[in-house]
């Protein structure tokens, strides 16, 4: 069969879905490194810290005990119980463990979307939301955030229609670093109750909120709990990105539906990796507090340098800056062209804003060593 022939056999569904745009930087960077170029990646959303020793030890011990078999499809009982204990009124039956919160989100859309159902997504937004909604047969409906990256509550209200199934809220936000305050989340909760909508809360960065701002989860609003599906992850907080352990918290019927899907998909999440996650939860919060302080310091350093070059809103959470580079675009240049120019000329990888649904901006990950941050910003400044 020729390549053209076999290509025509691909489903329309997969042909209309784009691969993760941030992941495409990995082979590109590897290629530059192989050429001997001094590259600095500020493109991938990954903490630089080591995976904590107790996590590694617990994972090794699980392997030594030969915890290498199929496991409970909803996740290890011990892990679900420990997670449920962190949410008032929640039991293990409300928790499902997934291969990262990415798979949790994919599963949510598969479980709630019928063809044509709409999911409201504030943009700019993380690269996978829209593609995951499309893979579930749904339609993403984008509502721009305001100039300060906060939610446009009027815009979201106006976007609600007969086909709206859910509103997705990601706070702290990737790519902008915005943290939505309680009153804004209360408005979303009221809107969802009024129009009988599902609320999806992606809290992959929930602990990383800076400047002593309160960490506020939609889960704290009791009125919305019966329609709330929340996802969190071990990836960013515990530097466990390769473990692939995340989870969803959902009303019992939704959790059961997600487990039904899981039973045909991956069966269960890697058993010994889940033992590592149990160990992560058993650690006191001191480690996370120190990591948050360290990230806040890097945020300050990166923000100082970047805001001297571009207009930039100071991020309050996560580990990204999302400056406006439109003043530096050559005629006809997109943020994608700009990021490619920066990579080519400086060896610094950043992600174009258009990948997150907002041109004229770029995303810069500041979870990098200080010397690399300073070197990267010096190189970019020279090119500008």
Interface positions, 203-222, toward ligand PLP (CB under 6 A):
204
Site residue total, ligand PLP (CB under 6 A): 13
* 126 near ligand PLP, judged by CB under 6 A: yes
- Interaction pattern, residues 250-289, with ligand PLP; x per rule: CB under 6 A: ----------------------------------------
Provide the 3-class DSSP secondary structure of residue 249: strand
- Please confirm whether the linkage preceding 20 is cis (ω < 30° from 0): no
Contact 215, 316 (CB under 8 A): no
- Smaller CB distance to ligand PLP: residue 241 or 307? 241
* 202 near ligand PLP, judged by CB under 6 A: yes
Contact 244, 123 (CB under 8 A): no
Tokens 């990267």 sit on residue: 376
* 241 near ligand PLP, judged by CB under 6 A: yes
Q: Is 46 exposed, middle or buried (0-12, 13-18, 19+ CB in 10 A)?
A: middle
- Smaller CB distance to ligand PLP: residue 110 or 346? 110
Contact 272, 344 (CB under 8 A): no
Q: Quote the tokens at residue 306.
A: 């970047």
Provide the 3-class DSSP secondary structure of residue 366: coil
Q: Quote the tokens at residue 57.
A: 């030890």
Least distance from ligand PLP to the Cβ atom of residue 239, Å? 11
* 132 near ligand PLP, judged by CB under 6 A: no
Other Cβ atoms less than 10 A from the Cβ of 104: the count is 27
Q: Measured on CA atoms in the order 300, 290, 89, 250, is the torsion positive or negative?
A: positive
Least distance from ligand PLP to the Cβ atom of residue 35, Å? 27
Interface positions, 133-172, toward ligand PLP (CB under 6 A):
170
Least distance from ligand PLP to the Cβ atom of residue 343, Å? 20
Interface positions, 321-350, toward ligand PLP (CB under 6 A):
none
Provide the 3-class DSSP secondary structure of residue 105: helix
The span from the CA of 65 to the CA of 296, in Å, is 39
Least distance from ligand PLP to the Cβ atom of residue 106, Å? 9
* 246 near ligand PLP, judged by CB under 6 A: yes
Q: Which range of residues in 73-81, 98-106, 216-224, 277-285 is near ligand PLP by CB under 6 A?
A: 98-106
Angle between helices 286-307 and 370-383 (to 10 degrees): 20
Interface positions, 16-75, toward ligand PLP (CB under 6 A):
45
* 124 near ligand PLP, judged by CB under 6 A: no
Give the footprint of ligand PLP on this chain (CB under 6 A).
45, 100-102, 126, 170, 174, 202, 204, 233, 235, 241, 246
């Amino acid at each position: 069969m020729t390549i053209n022939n076999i290509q025509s056999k691909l489903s329309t569904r997969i042909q209309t879905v784009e691969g993760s745009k941030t992941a495409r930087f990995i082979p590109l960077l590897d290629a530059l490194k192989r050429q001997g170029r001094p590259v600095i990646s500020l493109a991938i959303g990954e903490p630089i810290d080591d995976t904590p020793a107790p996590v590694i030890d617990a994972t090794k011990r699980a392997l030594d005990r030969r915890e290498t078999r199929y496991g409970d499809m909803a996740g290890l009982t011990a892990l679900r119980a420990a997670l449920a204990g962190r949410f008032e009124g929640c039991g293990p039956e409300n928790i499902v463990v997934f291969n990262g919160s990415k798979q949790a989100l994919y599963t949510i859309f598969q479980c709630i979307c019928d063809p044509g159902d709409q999911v409201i997504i504030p943009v700019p937004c993380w690269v996978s939301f829209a593609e995951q909604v499309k893979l579930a047969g749904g339609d993403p409906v984008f509502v721009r955030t305001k100039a300060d990256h906060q939610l446009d509550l009027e815009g979201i209200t106006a976007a609600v229609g007969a086909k709206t199934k859910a509103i997705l809220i990601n706070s702290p936000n990737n790519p902008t670093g915005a943290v939505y305050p309680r009153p804004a989340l209360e408005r979303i909760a009221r809107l969802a109750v009024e129009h009988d909508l599902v609320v999806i809360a992606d809290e992959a960065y929930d602990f990383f909120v800076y400047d002593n701002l309160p960490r506020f989860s939609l889960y704290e609003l009791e009125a919305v709990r019966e329609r709330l599906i929340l996802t969190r992850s071990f990836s960013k907080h515990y530097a466990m990105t390769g473990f692939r352990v995340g989870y969803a918290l959902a009303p019992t019927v939704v959790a059961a539906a997600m487990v039904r899907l899981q039973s045909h998909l991956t069966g269960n999440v890697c058993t010994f990796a889940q033992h590592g996650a149990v160990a992560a939860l058993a650690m006191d919060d001191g480690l996370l507090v120190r990591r948050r302080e360290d990230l806040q310091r890097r945020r300050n350093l990166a923000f100082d340098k970047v805001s001297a070059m571009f207009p930039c809103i100071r991020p309050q959470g996560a580990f990204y800056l999302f400056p406006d580079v439109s003043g530096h675009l050559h005629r006809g240049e997109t943020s994608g062209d700009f990021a490619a120019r920066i990579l080519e000329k400086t060896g610094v990888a950043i992600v174009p804003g258009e990948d997150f649904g907002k041109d004229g901006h770029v995303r810069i990950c500041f979870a990098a060593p200080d010397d690399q941050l300073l070197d990267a910003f010096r190189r970019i400044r020279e090119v500008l």
